[in-house]
Structure 1
Amino acid sequence: MFYLVPLMLEKVGIILIALFLLSQIKSFRQIVQREHTRQDKIMLIILFGAFGVFSNYTGIEINHTSIEHAGWYSGIDQESAIANTRVLGVVIGGLLGGPAVGVGAGFIAGLHRYLLDGFTAFSCSVSTILAGVVSGYLGAKRKKITEGFAVAIGMTLELVQMLVILATAKPFEKALELVQLIGIPMISVNGLGMMLFMHIIHLMKREEERTLANQTDKVFSIADQTLPYFRQGLNVESCEQICKLILNMTDADAVAITDNQIVLSHVGMASDHHTPMSKPETALTRKVLESGKIFVATSKEDIACHHQDCPLEAAIVIPLQVKNRVAGTLKMYYEDPEKLDQIQRQLATGLASLFSTQLELVEAERQTKLLKDAKIKALQAQNYPHFLFNSLNTISALCRTDPEKARELLLELSSFFRGNLQGAGQLFVPLKTEIENVKAYLSLVQARFPDKYRIHFQIEPNLEKIPIPPFLLQPIVENSINYGFPGSKQKGEINIRIFTEQQKLMIVIEDNGKGIPEEKLVVLGTQIVESKKGSGTAIFNICQRLKGIYGDRAYLTLDSKENQGTSTTISIPISSQERIESH
């Protein structure tokens, strides 16, 4: 019995070598690992049935207790039997492919065994089909097929084959003699073969999982690197950079992005006729834009490029969707259709999904910014009439006492508003402009109330070009004048200090006025505070604008004591680049 083991191991080795070679073929790995369609199941039936047929042909012919033939043959003597690894392929097929594959492979291998003849032909054919049925049923019921489970099933079904031979083969004495000779070697060697067979299958799956994990990392890496370009929107320049990144990080031979009308970029092969700013060259792209569905082409005819010499023979075209509408397409082209495998398809689909999400986020970000800009401009607009009406009141009063001075102030006011209207669409103005606005306002106030206020400016040199939101200083200075010194006979002192500190622009406006009651000081800036002289919107508006533009990086603080004065501090972040440019 034991001298049969080396010969059986040799046969198992041949099967395992064949499996290993098949495992290196992409199409085989895809069939074994993915969810099986009807076509996949037919392929698996043929494949594992072929393993059984191959085992029959390479079996070991046994006549009584002697080995008659151990080579390739197409038939055996009526008095002989075969020791082989036929059940190995059938059981693996059933465990991996389910009932249809198990029964199909078992029927092919069993029928072939029956045609080879021998006194166990019927017994072996029946047991082979039974092995396919049982393994297929267990494969469908069990989610994960471990190596140990496969070995147990394989050895059990091989044992069942020995029992079937004893039950059906005639004469019984001869069947018993055969089972005693081949039983232990076939059960043990087929168990070992089952373990090695499943080990190779699991290695294939683990390799596939590692590949998918790498592809996932690649997708997120590409998405991370392309995000800055997507924030620029879908245009020729941004899409060209995106396509270059994808081309360098995938196996594609060409990458293109379109919007819903024209090609924005095409990088790689066939760039001579797939040109930006032209209508899509292929009918495939137009089909995707119209349907919003993914299309895969595996031939030049499927791509339907009008250029006869186009080298691209495979492509996957995926819609880029924003809010359930097709905003464009991502296209990945291949010169060799074999390169467009399942992994490449999953990679392209993953990229398109992330890109669609990025486009939606960019669109949402753009809408949020537009809304924020609109709110900021609305808040700014509240200050314009306030300043205008106060200025006109001052000029109106001067018209009776000093017409020439009133004329000068009117010209200054006209110049002031002309400059502001020209920059009304801007969220920032140079600090120099804001200081000029304050000085223009103060000139109007001091013309109305000569010698009532002394204004002191302390401004750190070389800050003139630093950008700040307009109308930050003037409303605060106006508050100091209107609310800090009402009916006061003492001369008002207002100090305006502007300097930098730890990469922040600091604006401090101090007065020696009557101060702010503590109950109002607590809520100023967080809500509109009603007062006898107005709605108190200036501080609130400035705080809202700073928050809208800078978030938590800017702030306004108030420090006030009644009958001693008020200090208002504004802190605005300033980049190192802005600080350098100001010099």
Structure 2
Amino acid sequence: MFNLLILLTERLGLIMILAFLLVNMRFFRNLIKQRTKKSQIWLTIIFSLFVILANLTGVEITNSHEVFMPALITSLTQADSIANTRTLVITTASLTAGPYVGMIVGLVGGLHRVLFSNFSDYFYIFSSIIIGLVIGKISDHVKQGNLYPSNGWVILLGITADLIQMGFIDLFRGFALVRLIFWPMVILNTIGTFLFVEILKTYMSNEQQLRAVQTKDVLELANKTLPYFRQGLDMDSAHHVCKIIKNYTNFDAVGLTDQVNVLAHVGAGSDHHIAGEPILTDLSKSVITTGQRRIVYSATAIGCPQPHCPLAAAMVVPLEVNHQTMGALKVYFTDARKLTVVEENLVTGLQNIFSGQLAMGLAEEQASLVTEAQIKELQVQINPHFFFNAINTILALIRINPDKARHALMQLSIFFRSSLQNGQATQITLQAEKQHVDAYMDIEELRFPNRFILTYDLQINDQVLVPSFCLQIFVENAIKHAFKKTNQPGHIKISARPVADNQVQIQVQDDGCGMDAQLCQQLGQQPINETNGTGTALYNLNCRLRNLYGNQSTLQVQSNSAGSTFTIVCPIQIVKEAQPYADSHRG
């Protein structure tokens, strides 16, 4: 028994090394998390190969109970047996991929065991399938929403799997064989199962921590680079941005370009990649021309004309505003092995953030050329306080819920992108306006959980055109002012329905504290200066309504102690190729 334990330990070591290499692959870890049909098929193939390897690398036991370990077991007499790690693989497959994958892997392992033993011991097929089913079903029941059971359950299920196997062996091959192999197989297969799952847990945990660090780095970069990008994409701002990026990352060089020239280059190669001169590399020229990011792993692919350029790998991404490439962000490495998936994800995040910041800078530059009322309107659309409050909220989420932090970052990007795109239009679709409000409310929900409840009652086509940001102004007004005097959740309802004369009535209602009657009458008619806010946004909206629709539109404000109602009536205008609208509710 002791000799068998030592020999099986050697075989277990081989399986564990292969398992470690497998878990080290991002592809495999993603399969474990996805649980799609495609991922289940891949996991079945991978674990089936493992279970065949477990059979081939077993320890052979003769009819006289002598044990020896060939390099690979390719055939077996009907009188001989093997001790192996097959149940370890089946158990692990069931724990990580579910009962159906476990059953198929068990079937493959059992069939393979029967094939190389001259079609004897058919009971291994049934025992292996039963192990896969039982372990998988119990595992799914005790996971409680996690990817894996607790350590105690993993150990218990590992023991259970071998007990099932031993029961079949005792029934069909006799107790003498069970007595020889029981403790070595139960101990080692259970330890192996525990180690496999523990390795997987460790990698998943490290991945989560890495994502949190990446998100934190991106957000800190966003905070530090925002003042420079708001100045526009010029040599001075680009130089400061490149220095900040290089200080926060492991990039060997960082560069920024406009459509023609190098604006800044910090790090390796700065002796010939000089700010103010035309772009040298074919790689950067290609990205700016096509608007598609590129990743290369050789100096030849970078295309620098300088023969002694130290740059050996690069990732270049376009910086876009309103679907137009304004320039490129370039990161370089002197060793191609440094350019990993981690760096790719980080640069992609920076690309999204910087494109948004450039758009904000251009919007502010355009705002300086229009009237004061238009500037006020743009400030409502792109509120720096809202941006920084949202950033601080996301920073607080990074350590406790990285996935939620990434979702919030995406919603913030959607909010500002729609603000900038829709801000160029006098009218947008009701669908686009709703998406903008939803992004805003998702961010506010993170700042004030369960504080506001937004619902919709839309009885018109979602392709109806409405004044840009008309809903956003009312919703933001309710969030800021309507619920200050209550600790109860505030309700906001947005409704839209057709009315007479081919018009649409849009209402935003809240159940807040209401407004003073005199103030209510003045809202929309003139800018109101109050200590708790101004009516400039509503005044600008009313002016836009008059300019767009003349006497065909109205803005009404009603308020009492039970809440406020803002109503717009305007002509129905629908964009071409409109699709039917399905009522939706949000809460």
| TM-score for both structures, normalised by structure 1 | 0.52
How far apart are the structure 2 equivalents of 1:121 and 1:364?
76
Q: 1:260 — aligned with what?
A: 259
Instruction: Report the CA distance between 1:68 and its aligned residue.
Output: 1.6
The yes-or-no answer on 1:356 pairing with 2:355 is yes
Contact 1:29 1:204 in 2 (8 A): no
Find the aligned partners of 2:68 and 2:308 in 1 and give their Cα distance. 58
Indicate which of 12, 28, 31 corresponds to 1:32: 28
Aligned to 1:92: 92
Shift of 1:333: 1.8
Written as runs of structure 1 = structure 2, the 5 A alignment for 1:435-514 is none
For 1:366, give the aligned amino acid.
E
Assess if the C-alpha contact under 8 Å between 1:30 and 1:342 holds in 2: no
1: CA distance, partners of 2:72 / 2:272: 59
Equivalent residues of 2:293, 2:317 under 8 A apart: yes
Q: Tell me which residue corresponds to 2:228.
A: 229
Q: Which runs of 5+ in 1 are unaligned?
A: 377-521, 528-539, 548-583
Write out per-residue CA displacement over residues 394-424 of structure 1, whole angstroms, 9 at most, x where no aligned residue.
xxxxxxxxxxxxxxxxxxxxxxxxxxxxxxx
Q: Does the 8 Å contact 1:16/1:197 carry over to 2?
A: yes
Question: 2: CA distance between counterparts of 1:15 and 1:298?
Answer: 33
Matches within 5 A, 1:164-563: 172=172, 174=173, 177-179=176-178, 181-183=180-182, 185-371=184-370
Q: 1:209 to 1:281 in 2, by over 3 A?
A: same
Aligned residues of 2:257 and 2:264 also touching (Cα < 8 A) = yes
Supply the AA of the counterpart residue of 1:88: L
1:274–1:67 Cα change, 3 Å: farther
* Distance in 2, Cα, partners of 1:227 & 1:333: 23
Any idea what SS the aligned residue of 1:274 has? coil
Aligned to 2:61: 62
Q: Return the alpha-carbon distance in structure 1 between the equivalents of residues 287 and 86 of structure 2.
A: 48
2:370 match: secondary structure: helix
Query: Is 1:82 equivalent to 2:82 in the alignment?
Result: yes
Q: In structure 1, how many angstroms separate the alpha carbons of the residues matched to 2:303 and 2:110?
A: 47
Partners of 1:300 and 1:164 lie apart in 2 by 62
Counterpart Cα distance in 2 of 1:300 and 1:97: 42
CA distance in 1, matches of 2:326, 2:19: 46
Given the superposition, is the C-alpha separation of residues 193 and 353 from structure 1 closer, same or farther in structure 2, using an over 3 Å criterion?
Answer: same
Which string of whole-angstrom CA distances, capped at 9 and with x for unpartnered residues, describes residues 66-87 of structure 1?
Answer: 3421464445651221111133
Deviations 1:15-71 (A, max 9, x none): 335545776xxxx34233235899999997786556545544543322347342146
Q: What is the Cα-based RMSD across aligned positions, in Å?
A: 4.7
| 1:13 Cα offset (Å) | 4.5
Q: Name the CA distance, whole Å, in 1 between partners of 2:298 and 2:90.
A: 36
Distance 1:40 1:341, change over 3 A: farther
Amino acid at match of 1:359: L
1:346 Cα deviation after fit? 1.1
Aligned residue identity for 1:257: L
Which secondary structure does the structure 2 equivalent of 1:320 belong to? Answer: strand
3-state SS of paired residue (1:345): helix
Look up the equivalent residue of 1:68 and give its one-letter code.
V
Aligned-pair CA distance for 1:251: 1.9
- What secondary structure sits across from 1:277 in the alignment? coil
Aligned to 1:146: 148
Deviations 1:212-238 (A, max 9, x none): 211111112222222232232211122
8 Å contact from structure 1 (residues 120, 165) kept in 2: no
* Deviation per residue, 1:493-549 (Å, 9 max, x gap): xxxxxxxxxxxxxxxxxxxxxxxxxxxxx99xx99xxxxxxxxxxxx9xx9xxx9xx
CA distance in 2, matches of 1:334, 1:106: 47
Q: 1:343 & 1:357 partners in 2: Cα distance?
A: 22
Displacement of 1:206: 0.8
Larger Rg: 1
Shift of the 59–212 alpha-carbon distance from structure 1 to 2, 3 Å rule, reads same
* Structure 2 contact 4–67 (Cα < 8 Å) conserved: no
Which secondary structure does the structure 2 equivalent of 1:371 belong to? coil
Partner Cα separation in structure 2 for residue 140 and residue 262 of structure 1: 58
Equivalent residue of 2:254, what SS?
A: strand
Deviation string 1:244-276 (CA, Å, 9 cap, x unpaired) is 221232122221111223221222223344333
Q: Output the CA distance in 2 between the equivalents of 1:107 and 1:313.
A: 49
Residue 295 of structure 1 aligns to which amino acid in structure 2?
R
SS in structure 2 of the partner of residue 234 of structure 1: coil
Q: Distance in 2 between matches of 1:132 and 1:218?
A: 43
Contact persistence 2:127–2:164 (CA under 8 A): yes
Question: Residue in 1 aligned with 2:16?
Answer: 16
* Aligned 1:120-135 pairs, distance under 5 A: 124=124
For the structure 1 residues 280 and 164, does the alpha-carbon distance in structure 2 shift closer, same or farther, using more than 3 Å as the test? farther
Instruction: Number of aligned residue pairs: give it.
Output: 377
CA contact (8 A) 2:139 2:149 kept: no
How much does 1:199 deviate? Answer: 0.8
- Measure the CA separation in 2 of the matches of 1:51 and 1:244: 49
Which is further off, 210-219 or 13-22?
13-22
Whether the 8 Å contact between 2:22 and 2:28 is mirrored in structure 1 is no
2:454 paired residue number: none
User: In the alignment, what sits opposite 2:537?
Assistant: none
Structure 1 residue 347: deviation in Å?
0.8
Q: 1:224 to 1:59 in 2, by over 3 A?
A: same
1:150-185 alpha-carbon deviations (Å, 9 max, x no partner): 556555554554566578xxxx3x355434543565
Deviation, 1:146, is 1.4
**Which whole-Å CA distance do the structure 1 matches of 2:308 and 2:37 have between them?**
37
Output one character per residue of 1:307-340: Cα deviation in whole Å (capped at 9) or x when no partner.
5554433322222122332222211122333322
Letter matched to residue 271 of structure 1: S
Structure 1 vs Structure 2: percent identity of aligned residues?
A: 36
Tell me by how many angstroms 1:147 deviates: 4.0
Distance of aligned partners of 1:123 and 1:326 in 2 relative to their CA distance in 1, 3 Å threshold: farther
Contact 2:57 2:73 in 1 (8 A): no
> Mean alpha-carbon deviation: is it higher for 136-145 or for 334-343?
136-145
1:90-112 alpha-carbon deviations (Å, 9 max, x no partner):
54356556799878976886676
Q: Could you tell me whether the CA contact under 8 Å between 2:318 and 2:325 is conserved in 1? A: yes
- TM-aligned CA distance change 1:253 to 1:162, over 3 Å: same
Task: For 2:99 and 2:290, locate their aligned partners in 1 and report how far apart those are by CA, in whole Å.
Answer: 38
**Unmatched tracts of structure 2, length 5 or more:** 376-517, 535-587
In 2: Cα distance, 1:180 partner to 1:246 partner: 64
